[in-house]
Each structure stands twice: as structure tokens, then as C-alpha cells.
Amino acid sequence: MVSFLIRRVVQAILVMLAVAFLSFSMFNYAGDPVNNMVGQEASREDRAELRERLGLNDPFPVQFARFVGNAIQGNFGISYQLQRPVADLIAERMPATLELVLVSAILALSTGIPLGVYCGIARHSWLSRFFLTISLVGVSLPTFVIGIFLIYIFAVTLGVLPSFGRGGVVELGWWKTSFLTADGWRSLIMPAITLSLFQTTLIMRLVRAEMLEVMRTDYIKFARARGLSNRAINFGHALKNTLVPVITIAGLNIGALIAFSIITETVFQWPGMGLLFIQAVSFADVPIMSGYLVLVALVFVTINLIVDLLYYAVDPRLKVDRGTSAGRIA
């Protein structure tokens, strides 16, 4: 268990270094950073001096080590366009994205899992066929189409929900939350649904497929032969056995929700990190782009680590030392 944890953490660090290298390379290949910082009238000498001062003449490994050192302290430099530290900009925008992602993830899990269980158990009922058909729409429609569609219905035609922004926010220290006002919630509904729809349908189809698989196993047949109630069989025995793959996918998807909230945030003008990133891309604002890249990678790596640990919580077969368990089976 401990050795496993150490191994996973070392892997995570390697992944982060690789991502850091990529985002570091952006500075050198996405335009000349000096050109981006000085005006057109700067002289050749000024440029050379700035280059020296920024350490751009240092050997490559030294520059990379400096970048990593700064990144660990949360320092990604100063935005070319906004002239403010990238860390501050991201920290400012992060609550909006995290709240959106949190609500979307809860929405996706709390509807996807029950629907999947239902469709897995009552696979021939017309209702589960209906859900399955609807889910195809969710899987195949692009996010922005769903978003625009929702805006058209609820904001333009019916006029019941705002079409953009976060609405009323309350400041809790540096964290701006939209959870505490009715207006904030109203603004949150459509982006959250838009972002979660794909995940909901994905989780639903996955849980359904896993349930169908598990319901055929001998231990479910034996559980029936023991006279256990349907509830105990479906939710106690069957659902728990579907959880390992569901946790994997759900974990990856929370990462994906953060990374791909870009589109939803653009459609709804949601002031989160995604929107910040898209604006940074159009201005070739490399510090923001590289900071965002590293942050998203960090989120993915952390979630994967948590997912691996959750396997242990769900499946007792992983807990025992491999040697003993194999010895006993043989």
C-alpha cells in the first residue's frame, strides 16, 4: 500500500515535469517573449539588456529549473496583456470554474447513476429504451449546441433565466461564490446543465452496461437463490461491483469538466478559468496559457491519484498483500 502510493506519487511528479516542460517550451516557440514585452521603438541594446535581465541567455536547463522552481511556488510570471501576475488572475477566476464543475459533477453523478441502474435492471421497459435514446442525443450533440439551444429556449424565448455571467456573487474572503444568492443559482443552472449533459449520459450508459454485465454473474444468481430482496441485490451487490469502472470514468471526467469548461464558459460568458484561457489564446498571452496548462495537468494528476486510492476503498482484493492472496488461491 505504502510502496504503491510512493510509486504513484513518483509517476505523478514525472507527468507534471513533462507538462511543465511543454508549457515552458511555449515561451520559446510561441513568439519571442522579449518582443511581446517591449514596444516597437525599443532599441537593440534595450532588448539585449532585458534578455540578460530575464535570464533568457542562460543555458536551457538553468532556465527550465528556474521555471519549475517558480511554478512550484505558484509563480507563472506576469500576463503580457493584463500586466498582472498570472497566479492572481487564475486564483480570481478559479472559484467560478470550480463551482460550475462541482455542480455539474454532482448533477451528472446523481442523475447518471440512478438512470443507469434503472436501465440496467429494467432493460426491456419502454422507459429505459426512452432514456437510452435520449442519452444518444446527449452523447452526440456538441456542448455549444446544447448551450445555445438552452439559451434560445430559456433566456430568449421564455426569458426566465439569464443568458450570461454569474449573476449575484457573495465574497467569502477571496472566494466569490454564487451559491448564496438566488440570482447566482439562476445563472448557474444553464451552464451546469450544459456542462453535465455529456457526462450524465456517459455515466448512465456506463453504469447500464456494467449492471447488465454484473447481473449475469453467479454471485447475483446466488444472492437471488438466498432470497435477498431486490433492493439488496440491485444496490448492495450489483451496484457496488459496477463502481470500480464508474469511479475511473467519473474521476477522469471531473478533470475533463475542468479542462473542457472552456466551451461552456465561452457560450455563457462565465467568468472562469476557461474564459480566461480562451482570451489569453487570442492575445498569445503565453504566461496565462502555460499557467493554465500546468494547473489543469495538476488537477488531472491529483484526481487520478484519488481514484487509485478509491479502488482500494471499494475492492478488498487489492488490500491484501499480493503474495499472500495469490498463495491462498493456488
Footprint (CB under 8 A) of other proteins, residues 101-120? none
Rule CB under 8 A: say whether 231 interacts with other proteins: no
For strand 175-177 and strand 170-172, is the pairing parallel, antiparallel, or unpaired? antiparallel
Q: Which helix (H) or strand (E) holds 211?
A: helix 182-215
Q: Which is nearer to other proteins, 44 or 226 (CB)?
A: 226
Q: How many residues bind other proteins (CB under 8 A)?
A: 26
Grid cell in block for residue 170: 457573495
CA–CA gap between residue 39 and residue 80 (Å, rounded): 12
Rule CB under 8 A: say whether 144 interacts with other proteins: no
Three-class secondary structure of residue 319 per DSSP: coil
CA–CA gap between residue 233 and residue 290 (Å, rounded): 49
Q: Which is nearer to other proteins, 39 or 227 (CB)?
A: 227
Q: Which is nearer to other proteins, 158 or 329 (CB)?
A: 329
Minimum distance from residue 317 beta carbon to other proteins (Å): 5
Grid cell in block for residue 64: 527550465
Rule CB under 8 A: say whether 321 interacts with other proteins: no
Determine the length of the chain: 330
Minimum distance from residue 120 beta carbon to other proteins (Å): 14
CA–CA gap between residue 141 and residue 203 (Å, rounded): 16
Rule CB under 8 A: say whether 241 interacts with other proteins: yes
Looking at residue 262, its amino acid is I
Tell me which of 49, 217, 278, 309 binds other proteins, using CB under 8 A.
217
Minimum distance from residue 250 beta carbon to other proteins (Å): 18
Rule CB under 8 A: say whether 229 interacts with other proteins: yes
Rule CB under 8 A: say whether 129 interacts with other proteins: no
Q: Which is nearer to other proteins, 45 or 321 (CB)?
A: 321
Minimum distance from residue 237 beta carbon to other proteins (Å): 5
Write down the H helix ranges in 238-321. Answer: 239-267, 273-282, 286-314
Grid cell in block for residue 177: 461564490
Q: Which is nearer to other proteins, 2 or 225 (CB)?
A: 225
| Torsion of Cα atoms, 257 then 263 then 268 then 273, to 10° | 60
Rule CB under 8 A: say whether 310 interacts with other proteins: no
Task: Name every residue whose Cβ is closer than 8 Å to that of residue 98 and which is 6 or more positions away in sequence.
Answer: 258
Minimum distance from residue 121 beta carbon to other proteins (Å): 12
Rule CB under 8 A: say whether 221 interacts with other proteins: yes
Tell me which of 190, 195, 223, 275 binds other proteins, using CB under 8 A.
223
Q: Which is nearer to other proteins, 45 or 218 (CB)?
A: 218
Rule CB under 8 A: say whether 315 interacts with other proteins: yes
Ramachandran region of residue 321, left (φ > 0), alpha (ψ -120 to 50) or beta?
A: beta
In the chain, the largest separation of any two C-alpha atoms, in whole Å, equals: 87
Contacts to other proteins by CB under 8 A: 217-219, 221-230, 232, 236-237, 240-241, 314-317, 320, 325, 328-329
